[in-house]
Amino acid sequence: MMFSYRQALEAVIGKLQAIARTPATESIPLSEAVFRVLARDILSDRDYPPFDRSIRDGYAVRSADTRPGASLRCIGELKAGDSPSIAVTPGACMQIMTGAALPEGADAVIMIEHTSRERDTVHLDRAVKPGQHVVRRGSEQAAGQTVLSAGTRIGFAEIAAAAQVGAANPVVTRKPRIAILSTGDEVVDFASTPGPFQIRNSNSVSLAAQVGLTGGEPVVLGNARDSLDDLRAKITAGLEADALILSGGVSMGKYDLVEPVLSEFAAEVIFDAVAIRPGKPVVFALCKGKPVFGLPGNPVSTMVTFDLFVRPAIDILSGTEPRPLPFIEATLTASLSEKAGLTHFLPAKLTWRSDKAHVSSVPWQGSGDVVAMAHANCLLVVPADRETIEAGEHVHVLPRDF
We find the least distance from the C-beta atom of residue 228 to ligand AMP, in angstroms, to be: 15
Q: Which of residues 111-150 bind ligand AMP (CB under 6 A)?
A: none
**296 near Mg ion (CB under 5 A):** no
Q: Residue type for 393, please?
A: E
Quick one: which segment of 37-45, 84-92, 141-149, 247-255 binds Mg ion (CB under 5 A)?
247-255
Of the ranges 114-122, 167-175, 243-251, 335-343, which one interacts with ligand AMP (CB under 6 A)?
A: 243-251
| Cα dihedral across residues 391, 393, 398, 402: positive or negative | positive
Decide if residue 184 touches Mg ion (CB under 5 A). yes
Residue 299 binds ligand AMP (CB under 6 A):
yes
Span of 290-298, 337-345, 348-356, 386-394 interacting with ligand AMP by CB under 6 A: 290-298
173/247 with CB nearer ligand AMP: 247
103 binds Mg ion (CB under 5 A): no
Render 124-147 in DSSP notation, one character per residue: ESS---TTTTEEPTTSSB-TT-EE
Pick from 201, 318, 320, 343 the residue near ligand AMP by CB under 6 A: 201
Burial class (CB in 10 A: 0-12, 13-18, 19+), 258: buried
Separation between Cα atoms, residue 301 and residue 279, nearest integer Å: 5
From 325, 303, 273, select the one nearest 372 (Cα to Cα).
303
Q: Report the alpha-carbon distance of residue 167 to residue 159 in Å, rounded.
A: 9
In angstroms, the CA 276 to CA 263 distance is: 24
Q: 151 — phi, psi (to 5°)?
A: 100, -10
What one-letter code names the amino acid at 72?
L
Q: How far is CA 385 from the centre of its chain?
A: 30
CB of 186 to Mg ion, least distance (A): 7
Site residues (CB under 6 A) for ligand AMP, limited to 40-69: none
**Residue 247 touches ligand AMP, criterion: CB under 6 A:** yes
The widest CA-to-CA distance across the chain, in whole angstroms, is 93
- Spatial distance between the Cα atoms of 114 and 127, rounded to a whole number of angstroms: 9
Give the shortest CB-156-to-ligand AMP separation in angstroms. 33
Q: Among Mg ion, ligand AMP, none, what does residue 203 contact (CB within 5–8 Å per kind)?
A: ligand AMP
Residue of this chain nearest to ligand AMP (CB atom):
297
- Number of other CB atoms surrounding residue 353 within 10 Å: 9
Q: Compute the least distance from the CB of residue 276 to Mg ion, in Å.
A: 19
Binding status of residue 249 toward ligand AMP by CB under 6 A: yes
Q: Which of residues 351-390 bind ligand AMP (CB under 6 A)?
A: 368
- 248 interacts with Mg ion by CB under 5 A: yes
My answer on whether omega of the bond before 326 falls inside 30° of 0, hence cis, is no
- The residues binding ligand AMP (CB under 6 A) are 182, 184, 186-187, 199, 201-204, 247-249, 251, 253, 296-299, 368
